[in-house]
Chain A
Amino acid sequence: MSLDLNYREVSKVFGAGGKTPVEALKKVSFTIKPGELFCLLGPSGCGKTTLLRSTAGLESITSGQIFYGGRDMTSIPPFRRNIGMVFQSFALYPHMNIFENVAYGLRVRKTPEAEVRRKVSEVMELVGLTEELKRNPSPAGLSGGQQQRVAIARALVYDPDLLLLDEPLANLDAKLRRYMRAEIRRIQKATNITTIFVTHDQEEAMAVGDRLAVMRRGVVEQIGSSDELYNKPNSAFVANFIGKMNFFKATLALWDGEEVRARIIGPDFELEAGKGRNHLPVGTGVGSRIVVGARPEQLSVGLRRVEGAMAGKVNIIQHLGQFVRYEVSVDPVVSAQPFEVDMPGLVSGIAEGDEVYVTIKKGLASLYLPEEGQSE
């Protein structure tokens, strides 16, 4: 039976009272559903690891509460929380063989020997290490991927209420990482234990998680499925963290019920926000600085000047298999960054160095408040 996990206004301040207190978590509140594989995603220093360690009880939180299945665990010491955790370094014991490593949590719980043997072989079968268990080497005698499996087995063997994974794939090479993330998903679904998976790699998070939370500076920016986060990012930060987004500097021209229009600075034309793509906070005044965002595949590039097009110059053309990416630099008044435009194939007549026109496909423009540094 899996539990839900509930954070209520969880805050953590490092060095409170000192000269430079650091607010690692700022009133974080959300709920993870029973049996869910939930990813915490964000750049380094965003508080995702602090939140994970607070969930485990390895860090004490400054204020707020954490509930497992409705039970307040905030002041329960970590060793009484019945959770499993896989560390970035795997943290396998070099002075024990893999059997003893996996059996550790059972030994702590004074489980009878026969039961220990049964459970260890069960969990080793689940993670696919039955053969290795027969040889029973010390962890140093295993490959990185096998060590990872031992670490997962060790965390699962005593049927924890919650499984925590702290950047579990960071120590593996790229190919193995892709394979292991599928394995982790398979094992999680087989056990149905509520799981938190911390990573800074958005591709990994989107591939693994049922739902994702994107964190920044101690705050959860957005929670949703991979699809929701990619297609309906609610801030410029999330939009650019989950995948790539191009931004045009603009001002708010009109907000009248359903109809919202932005005026692009520079070429000075108006543009209607796509349906459900206005992410400006209610009350944003007409004339405020905003940004208009569009993903590379939501832009198109052509040789003819059309209504609502921006002139630019092609820097690089990259053939990337399923699509062709055009990097186009535009007037810095519109965007300091060059745009990335993905076209389904080569556009005939366009070569590197050519003058082109970039347009946002109809109904796909999203409006956001500018990030720091985007408004100037």
Chain B
Amino acid sequence: MKDRNLDSSISSTEHGGFKKFLQKDLTPYLVFLIPMAFLCVFLFWPLVTTLLRAFMKSGNKFDLGALGVSGFEKFFTSALYQRSLRNSFIVGISVTLCSLFIGVPMGYFVARVKIPGKSLLLSLGILPVIMPSFIGAFSWIILLGRQGVLRHFINIVLVPLGLELPPIYGMFGMIFCMSLTYYPFVFLLSHGAFSSANALLEDAGMLMGAGRWRVLRTITFPLVIPSIGAAALLVFIRSIGNFGIPAIIGGDQYVLPTLIYFRVNGFWDLNGASSIAVVNVLITGAVLWFQKYVVSRREYETISASHVEIQQHKHPVLRVVAFLYCLVVLLVSLAPQIVIIVMSFFEKWQGLLPEGFTLANFSKIPKNSPKELLNSLYLSTIATLLTAILGSIIAYITERRKPKGAGILDMAVMAPFILPGTVVSVALLSAFSGRSAIPLGGTYTIIIIAYMVRRTPYVYRSVAASLTQLNPSLEEASTIAGAHWIYTFRRVSVPLILPGIISGSILTFSTLLQELSTTILLYGARTRTVPIQIYGAVADGKMGEASALSVLLLIVVFAIVYATNKSKGRDLSAGLKM
């Protein structure tokens, strides 16, 4: 200890400065370096390559000498490109509007009207988001497809009138399925806003003589607009990046993600796919900018000393209407899951009732898809573990150490949250396929990396949320007591943010099990996963097999989510927010 006062006397000399540098604790920089290196190699570099490739001639040659805009010209010359772009816009906007239309009233009803089973409504409400969306799409094919059961019924009524319900394939199908998949974002976020708004503000409005409707219009809605805006943004970004639903139910209508798949899978045209990816990201970016500078400007800080329980509507008619509305929405959005379960026990279902009860669909699984089951489990587990570590460390760094450039780190980590899955895989393919410096094409590694890049935001946000609730003096107390920051992290921070880490990891694991949009471009013969197998079976018309696999997936995901919700104090929604 005595030698410490030596260097203060010579600290001004160069030698002293170097000694000081050595004496400084370098471990934070080392730990900071690992996630930074990961992000640089597996996020920045692929994105830069993608951007460069977007300006190269179609094909997969990486040629910096011949940059041009031929990739983008197709958006002006090719009818397919133009239609895909238009479709993406229409789908994005329509799904957002429909989700708002379904979700906002439901949020209001559950928050403000006295109806039974609210907690059940809330916990079932999140299911469509967590369940694989492409499974929903193919079960709607069973119901409303060319030989769809429901369509069959409806047409019995309609045909005598000279009308016919067309099969669900196409734009309508995409918008329908996506709205039912994504409305829960609006429902849950607006429910949160409606139930947390300060009732005193509304009471004050009424005391000043405003009627119920006027209060709703001039006080309640302006206060929840930011939450609803955030939900709408989330829905738009998700729907414009969704691959599974348009791939299964889109028919001959392409959207940008399926167009990317088409360029890569059909022509191995990475440069062309990059151009489309850039356009796709530009749209998302523009909407994000709009949300940030237009919608979030209207955010209000509620000034209040006390908080009062919100009065609930008790009018019997309203109560019945509200309850029925929620019930119908929930039933319709959960119908696919029910249909899939029924379908999995039958050979075919083309008429009124399913035919040929059988357990063969299930008993065939171990024989037909053993590799896929193992791969899904292996890839999801490894990726989740690594994501949990990476996300927690980055969250800890940005929240607690607050280095210069923490803002950039935050943006970098969150970037993949808004990037469509197909874009992430195109970026990784651009950087690491073929004769790249690090050739990873067709390996497990590239899929694990893609999963990590895409899911780190879940853990990151979830952990960051727990950290902000944790008083920094708990950690400072440990530092003062003599603990090195790694000891503090291990003994104080981690135990206290464990709930955040676990819920982020669970969300990661359960969504990775059903990941399709990234995997579809990255898998090889060795690395097929269960969702890939389901997708293939649907394409081949093997509905029974696809259903059985889907049921398996549903059971696993549901069990995980149910177990999580059962154990107290876990909140999955933190990881879903931006």
Contacts and interface: CB of A to CB of B under 8 A. Distances in A.
B4 A83 contact: no
B481 A105 contact: yes
Given A93-B474, A93-B492, A77 B25 contact: yes
Interface string B462-505: 00000000010110111111111101000110011000000000
A76 B6 CA distance: 13
Interface stretch (A64-72, A188-196, A265-273, A348-356): A64-72
Of A56, A105, A109, A164, chain B has the most CB atoms within 10 Å of the CB of A105
Contact of A154 (B5, B473, B481): B481
Contacts of B8: 65, 72, 74-75
Interface stretch (A32-40, A84-92, A229-237, A319-327): A84-92
B23 interface: yes
Contact of A108 (B1, B481, B495, B496): B481
Contacts of B481: 79, 84, 104-105, 108, 154-155, 158
Contacts of A80: 482
B298 interface: no
A31 interface: no
A87 B473 contact: yes
B570 interface: no
Nearest to B480: A85
B526 interface: no
B401 interface: no
A104 B480 contact: no
A30 to B, nearest CB: 19
A94 interface: yes
Interface residues of B, number: 27
Given A77-B25, A89-B473, A91-B471, A84 B20 contact: no
Given A71-B4, A79-B484, A108-B483, A95 B496 contact: yes
B5 A72 contact: yes
Interface in B11-36: 11, 20, 23-25
Contacts of A65: 8
A59 B477 CA distance: 14
Which interface residue of B24, B484, B491 has the most chain A CB atoms within 10 A? B491
Given A82-B482, A93-B492, A108-B487, A75 B477 contact: no
Given A65-B8, A76-B4, A93-B492, A83 B478 contact: no
A75 B23 contact: yes
Contacts of A85: 476-477, 480
Chain A interface size range: 20 to 34
B496 A79 contact: no
Given A75-B23, A76-B4, A83 B495 contact: no
Interface in B439-459: none
B476 A70 contact: no
A75 B7 CA distance: 10
Interface in A23-62: 56, 58
A254 B23 CA distance: 60
Nearest to B484: A79
A105 B485 CA distance: 13
A77 B484 CA distance: 9
Interface string A151-193: 0001100100000100000000000000000000000000000
A83 B473 CA distance: 15
Most chain B CB within a 10 A radius of its CB, from A85, A88, A94, A155: A85
B496 A71 contact: no
Contact of B480 (A78, A88, A93): A78
B483 A79 contact: yes
Contacts of A91: 471, 473-474, 476-477
A58 B5 contact: no
A56 B5 contact: no
Contacts of A88: 473
A154 B481 CA distance: 8
Nearest to A76: B4
Nearest to A77: B25
A109 B482 contact: yes
A77 B8 CA distance: 14
A355 to B, nearest CB: 43
A14 to B, nearest CB: 13
B482 A56 contact: no
Best-buried of A74, A89, A108, A109 by chain B (most CB within 10 Å): A108
B93 to A, nearest CB: 40
Contacts of A105: 481-482
Contacts of A79: 479-485
B471 A158 contact: no
Nearest to B2: A71
Contacts of B482: 79-80, 82, 105, 108-109, 158
A75 B20 contact: yes
Contacts of A109: 482
Given A77-B25, A89-B471, A104 B478 contact: yes
Given A71-B4, A72-B5, A89-B471, A154 B477 contact: yes
Which 3 A-B pairs give the minimum distances between C-beta atoms? A105-B481, A91-B473, A72-B8
Interface of A: 56, 58, 65, 70-72, 74-85, 87-89, 91, 93-95, 104-105, 108-109, 154-155, 158, 164
Interface of B: 1, 4-5, 8, 11, 20, 23-25, 471, 473-474, 476-485, 487, 491-492, 495-496
Given A87-B476, A91-B477, 9 more contacts: A58-B476, A75-B23, A79-B479, A79-B484, A85-B476, A89-B473, A94-B496, A104-B491, A154-B477
9 contacts: A71-B1, A75-B24, A79-B480, A79-B482, A79-B485, A80-B482, A83-B480, A84-B480, A158-B481
